[in-house]
């Protein structure tokens, strides 16, 4: 299956519709099977690699994604993260904004240190190498990075950012450009470590969340810049309802677009004729809270609507039952 997915990502469709994911897809059951706690897998390369492979080992889903959170680039820039205890199964998050405005990012801060080798980024690259050594012939490995706008939300105080978007839009665009270049460095490092493709998960910067006009003004240019700087294959994951913004996504340059359950799949297929379309199984109501029949039905609907690969619409809820992931794979 690995070779078929790699062929698909290179644009060679075979008629087969694979099921896999480039988004984070670890589960509590998978972690338990490997003797791991979720709170400990973010700081140790070998444990991180074992966690990433755990869903594959229990279900045969032919994929794994690293890192296991989106905040490593923010941490590398100097943001302090909150790591939760195991019972909550929450992904790490910045504990407070790093800057009050984009002024700091635009005043030479990005050139002040070797940020690409800071924080946990070297640990993540080591985890990718370990994962590749252990299961390279069986799965595809996704290197996951946030989009530039999502990273900006992690490091800038939101109120200050939103005010600057109105008052000083060029300053925000400059900051996004700096972050695009930084994220491209990280993506290239993940590819060099062994990731087969890069997934850009711009959760906070989707047109469904900030609106089509602000997306076109701020996010689209920075995503295009990032995609241009990354080696292919590249998948852009678009959260929220993007039904009315498909014309903006069509020429963005990524080999594939991943959408979630709130975007109308038939319209997405029609609007993204020249781009691979991945999606769009609801990770909460279907994969986590649904039963096996609901999972099967959702996967079959996605295939009938014309997806090129069945993907969860977003990162898995860690408590997602393994039985539902098996049903997704078997549909």
Q: Write the CATH number for 51.
A: 3.20.20.210
Where is 71: in which H helix or E strand? none
Closest CA to 186 of 139, 126, 122, 255: 122
The phi, psi pair for 156, rounded to 5°, reads -115, 140
Backbone angles phi, psi at 85, to 5 degrees: -75, 170
| SS3 assignment for 250-273 | CCCCCCEEEECCCCCHHHHHHHCC
Specify the 3-state DSSP secondary structure of 192: helix
- Asked whether the whole model's pTM tops 0.75, one would answer yes
DSSP label at 80?
P
Q: How many structural domains comprise the chain?
A: 1
Domain limits at 55? 17-330
Measured in residues, the chain has a length of 331
Q: Assess if residue 7 is contained within a domain.
A: no
Tens-level pLDDT at each residue, the chain (331 residues): 999 999 999 999 888 999 999 999 999 999 999 999 998 999 999 999 999 999 999 999 999 999 999 999 999 999 999 998 766 789 999 999 999 999 989 988 988 889 999 999 999 999 999 999 999 789 999 999 999 999 999 999 989 999 999 999 999 999 999 999 999 999 999 999 999 999 999 999 999 999 999 999 999 999 999 999 999 999 999 999 999 999 999 889 999 999 999 999 999 999 998 899 999 999 999 999 999 999 999 999 999 999 999 999 999 999 999 999 999 999 9
Q: Rounded to the nearest 5°, which phi and psi values hold at 68?
A: -100, 20
Can you tell me the distance from the alpha carbon of 63 to that of 55, in angstroms, rounded to the nearest whole number? 9
Q: Kindly report the number of other CB atoms within 10 A of residue 305's CB atom.
A: 16
């Amino acid at each position: 299956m690995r070779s078929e997915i790699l062929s698909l990502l290179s644009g060679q469709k075979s008629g087969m519709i694979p099921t896999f994911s480039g988004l984070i897809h670890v589960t509590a059951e998978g972690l338990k099977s490997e003797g791991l706690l979720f709170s400990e897998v973010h700081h140790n390369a070998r444990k991180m690699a074992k966690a990433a492979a755990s869903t594959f080992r229990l279900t045969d889903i032919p994929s794994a994604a690293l890192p296991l959170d989106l905040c490593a680039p923010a941490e590398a820039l100097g943001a302090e993260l909150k790591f939760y205890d195991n019972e909550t199964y929450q992904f790490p998050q910045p504990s407070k904004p790093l800057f009050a405005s984009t002024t700091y990012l635009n005043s030479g801060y990005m050139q002040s240190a070797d940020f690409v080798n800071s924080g946990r980024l070297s640990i993540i690259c080591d985890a990718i190498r370990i994962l590749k050594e252990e299961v390279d012939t069986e799965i595809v490995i996704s290197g996951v990075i946030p989009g530039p706008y999502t990273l900006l939300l992690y490091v800038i105080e939101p109120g200050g950012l939103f005010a600057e978007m109105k008052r000083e839009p060029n300053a925000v665009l400059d900051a996004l450009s700096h972050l695009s270049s930084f994220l491209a460095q990280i993506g290239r490092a993940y590819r060099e470590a062994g990731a087969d493709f890069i997934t850009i998960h711009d959760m906070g910067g989707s047109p469904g969340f900030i609106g089509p006009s602000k997306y076109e003004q701020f996010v689209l240019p920075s995503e295009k810049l990032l995609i241009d700087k990354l080696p292919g294959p590249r998948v852009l994951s678009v959260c929220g309802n993007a039904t009315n913004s498909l014309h903006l996504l069509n020429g963005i340059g990524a080999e594939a677009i991943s959408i979630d359950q709130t975007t109308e799949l038939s319209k997405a297929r029609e609007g993204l004729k020249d781009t691979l379309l991945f999606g769009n199984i609801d990770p909460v109501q279907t994969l986590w809270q649904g039963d096996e029949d609901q999972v099967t039905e959702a996967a079959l609907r996605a295939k009938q609507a014309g997806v090129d690969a069945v993907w969860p619409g977003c990162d898995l809820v860690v408590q997602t039952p393994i039985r539902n992931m098996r049903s997704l794979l078997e549909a």
